[in-house]
Amino acid sequence: MEEIKIDLKKLVKRVDTDQMGDFISFDKSKCDGCGRCALVCSFNLWSVKNGKARLAPKYQELCLECGGCWEICECEAIDFWYPKGGTGVVIEYG
């Protein structure tokens, strides 16, 4: 079977990314390394290394802004808010 490669950047359309800014903050000292954030992120923007979660440095480019990581984090190490109005992801299909 032939391997299918998907360019995730082509799946996510963004509006005015220069003005978007950060919309996820992460407090490493609160993280217990459970990995739930990595499990729910469909674009694999979270990983766990050395017992602590890590967010991809350029998460703004791919994040679907679902807030799943924030919702599932029981130790409240993740804060999420939607980007400023008029910026962020645009859903064109579905």
CATH class of 32-83: alpha beta
Residue ranges in the chain modelled with pLDDT below 50: none
Q: What ranges do the domains of the chain cover? A: 32-83
Segments of 1-94 assigned E as strands = 13-15, 24-26, 46-49, 52-55, 78-80, 88-90
Q: How many whole angstroms separate alpha carbon 88 and alpha carbon 12?
A: 10
What pLDDT digit, counting tens, does each position of 13-32 carry? 766 666 667 899 999 999 99
Residue 89 φ/ψ, nearest 5 degrees: -75, 145
Q: How deeply is 85 buried, as exposed, middle or buried, from its count of CB atoms within 10 A (0-12, 13-18, 19+)?
A: exposed
What is the predicted pLDDT for the residue at 18?
A: 66
- In sign, the C-alpha dihedral spanning 57, 68, 79, 83 is positive
What is the predicted pLDDT for the residue at 74?
A: 97
What is the predicted pLDDT for the residue at 77?
A: 98
What is the predicted pLDDT for the residue at 85?
A: 72
